[in-house]
Chains A and B, each alone.
Chain A
Amino acid sequence: MYQILKQIAKTGLVSEPAPQPDEALRLGAQRLRETVLEHFGRSLAIRHVDAGSCNGCELEIHACNSPYYNLERLGVRFVASPRHADLLLVTGPVSRHMEEALRRTYDATPEPKLVVTIGDCGCSGGIFGESYASRGRVSNVIPVDVAVPGCPPEPAAIIQGILTAVSSASGRRSSPASR
């Protein structure tokens, strides 16, 4: 126990400031009312769905929970069921074998809900494209609010995408990032 406490004290706090929302990542018009976003902005529950990625984006989603980014400090946490989620974080081109699971996960998520897609494949189909086995971009299957490109996008970009989704397009309301 002494060694653990010593290591914790030696490490100190390494968390860095969170990025600001970026309206350029928003795909369409803001869909949710500002009062809803205000609640989401304080405590956001995320369900991650890998719809067919190469697993590169998952590495960076994991990294969002590392002490440098410390996503939970912003009131954002990953939950085990879509029924507990406010936002779906979707990676991959959507493989045809995951299409139904993705739709069902989306349907199981209570309204109001948001969808953020992570990575070039989710945004455009990426190098895998559309084929007998791939439906390509996530918005071919479910509505998407914010799309974060990158192969894979770095943790700060992923967090920026999440914060963009819960901030208001008019920029009126404070997002967790400004706290």
Chain B
Amino acid sequence: MSLPFPDLGIEARRLPGALPAWHAELERDALRGVAEKARAQKARLVALWASDETPRGAGYVLHVALALRAGLAWLSVALEREHPRYPGIADIFPAASRMQRAAYDLLGVHAQANADQRKWLRHGAWPGGVFPLRKDFDAAARFDTGEDRYPFVRVEGEGVHEIPVGPVHAGTIEPGHFRFSIVGEKILRLEERLGYKHKGIEKRFEELSAEDGARLAGRVSGDSTVAYAWAYAMALEGACGVEVPARAAALRGVALELERIANHLGDLGYLGNDVALSFGFFQFWRLKEDLLRLQRELLGHRYLMDYVVPGGVARDLEAAGSERLREALAALEAEIAVLRAIYDEHAGAQDRFIMTGQVSPELAERLGLTGLAGRASGQAHDLRFDLPVPPYQDLAVRVAGHIRGDVAARVSVRFEELAESLRLIRALLERMPGGELRAPMPAPQPGRRGCGWIEGWRGDVFLALETAAEGRLHRVHPHDPSWQNWPALERAVLGNIVPDFPLINKSFNLSYSGQDL
């Protein structure tokens, strides 16, 4: 028995795999004490979800994943079968609030003393009191899409009015509802309503084999397909006790950095577009398209979907391909340098970027802001540096960082991460180990836990799974960093003008699908 978290007073068992992760069972009465101690040590809440263990003769279980200095702590709290409830932790970790509401909608586990008891993922697709992730839920059941009432918080006062936006937006973006309360052009309050894209991903995992689950994991949020597929593979490999060949790990690293580059290029183009610098859009999207085509040619798919598979990767990168990639990235680096100089010196663009949509480091720390948005607000967390798994352990990843927390800072972080990802890919290609591409995956034993945790381009993607009999999945919970960052967007826009909302929103570029599940 190791004691990775000596100050928390918990006994934890190391989960197999390269990721420093431990699992511990907690008594319900101990949950808040542990959460408070962890918070005092600047732990972050990674995810909160629940599971149904009634077929095993138990009740329900609440799961909490915390990021501590030593690694990840996965805490499980057994709850009773009738009226499962637990003391909420949203006052300790504000990001827990929506996760607790979602856990109630899907499994009926109730967070006591949560200030916000409204539904979150449930709209009209199923009635209250029915919980789709319970094991006795009838998979063939269809409910009439009835009326969906949701009590938005109203802002009252002279001259205040509301602008409801969505779920169908004016641009090509995902659906969600934004309720602005404004006075003049100034935003007094923004309230998000998400869940429109809820398509039952977690329930779907339970109908699939562990092998097929990989494809679904890669489609939780399509723009982060490599990060999700890797997190899923890591979790399943841990649960099965499989070690990934060194070459496969290096190629996964290349794929993850390519995904980061492609998304950052696209975002930088749109950030230019949103401040009337359409030149930037066309230039960055030309560069992105060049990269997507090369990815398709060398690795089989423009977005690298299904490239990371349990046990390894789907395809090798031959020496000639490696050379092509190296040349293309060198050309890309030169082009980015030219465009960065243009962005940096463009008075119109900088005027819109600077001081717009600020999240202070204090607020970011309080809300648990993560990923690139966190790094733009002084939260220098990056799993590739903090808890490096192969192939990152010898790469000494340089973590981007700013403290202004405005759109300009989020633009700068993207530019810095582009440069770093280019360096990382070069380093990975230079010391590419030989060997196998894929370790054989045995059929998983039932009742095994595994978790994956990957620094995707948007932030840390977490995935926890537990296996069932006959190579199937008992429970899979994929967690998108957008859960943490959506609430911060509500705060970032305060005091800004409505026309700056699209710019601020784009500078975060959060996932709806990843959050709605």
Contact = CB atoms under 8 A, between A and B. Distances in A.
Interface of A: 3-4, 7-8, 11, 14, 48-63, 65-68, 78, 80-82, 92-93, 95-101, 105, 126-129, 131-134, 151-152, 154
A78 B305 contact: no
A90 to B, nearest CB: 11
Contact of B511 (A51, A55, A95, A100): A55
A133 B200 contact: yes
Given A49-B168, A97-B123, A97-B124, A129 B286 contact: no
Contacts of B200: 128, 131-134
Contact of B222 (A49, A55, A129): A55
B266 A59 contact: yes
Interface in B262-299: 266, 279, 282-283, 285-286, 288-289, 292
Kindly list the 6 A-B residue pairs having the minimum CB-CB distance in the complex, ordered from nearest.
A56-B222, A133-B200, A96-B125, A80-B170, A66-B285, A54-B222
B46 to A, nearest CB: 22
A132 B141 contact: yes
Nearest to B126: A132
A73 to B, nearest CB: 12
B513 interface: yes
Contacts of B303: 56, 59, 152
Nearest to A102: B168
Interface of B: 123-126, 132, 137, 139, 141-143, 145, 167-168, 170-175, 195-201, 203-204, 215-216, 219-223, 225, 266, 279, 282-283, 285-286, 288-289, 292, 302-303, 305, 338-339, 341-342, 345, 511-513, 516
B342 A7 contact: yes
Given A49-B168, A154-B302, A66 B219 contact: no
Contacts of A56: 219, 222-223, 225, 303, 305
Given A97-B125, A98-B197, A127 B216 contact: yes
B390 to A, nearest CB: 27
A53 B174 contact: yes
Nearest to B125: A96
Contact of A78 (B126, B172, B513): B172
A127 B172 CA distance: 22
A54 to B, nearest CB: 4
Contacts of B215: 127
Contact of B199 (A58, A100, A128, A154): A128
Q: For chain B, what secondary structure do more than half of its interface residues adopt (helix, strand, loop), or is it mixed? A: loop
B282 A67 contact: yes
B285 A63 contact: yes
Contacts of A80: 170-171
14 contacts: A8-B279, A48-B172, A52-B175, A52-B197, A53-B197, A63-B289, A78-B172, A101-B175, A129-B204, A131-B204, A132-B126, A132-B200, A133-B132, A154-B302
A14 B171 CA distance: 24
B126, B199, B283 — most chain A CB neighbours (10 Å)? B199
B25 to A, nearest CB: 31
B203 A3 contact: no
B210 to A, nearest CB: 15
A97 B193 CA distance: 12
Contacts of A11: 283, 286
B104 to A, nearest CB: 16
A131 B145 contact: no
A11 B343 CA distance: 17
Given A95-B197, A101-B167, A132 B132 contact: yes
Contact of B219 (A3, A54, A61, A131): A54
A154 B293 CA distance: 10
Given A53-B222, A67-B282, A80-B171, A4 B196 contact: no
Nearest to B273: A65
A71 B285 CA distance: 13
A28 B216 CA distance: 30
B185 to A, nearest CB: 19
Contact of B168 (A7, A97, A101, A129): A101
Contacts of A97: 123-125, 195-198, 516
Nearest to A96: B125
Contacts of B123: 96-97
B223 A66 contact: no
Contacts of B124: 96-97, 100
A157 B285 CA distance: 18
B203 A131 contact: yes
Contact of A62 (B172, B201, B279, B513): B172
A50, A68, A95, A132 — most chain B CB neighbours (10 Å)? A132
A78 B511 CA distance: 22
A99 B513 CA distance: 16
Contacts of B266: 59, 62
A67 B284 CA distance: 10
Contacts of B338: 3, 7
Given A67-B285, A105-B168, 19 more contacts: A7-B339, A50-B172, A53-B513, A54-B219, A54-B513, A55-B511, A55-B512, A62-B172, A65-B285, A80-B170, A81-B170, A92-B197, A97-B124, A97-B197, A97-B198, A127-B219, A128-B219, A132-B142, A133-B203
B364 to A, nearest CB: 25
Contacts of A132: 125-126, 132, 137, 139, 141-143, 200, 203
Nearest to A79: B170
A47 to B, nearest CB: 8
A8 B170 CA distance: 29
A68, A97, A126 — most chain B CB neighbours (10 Å)? A97
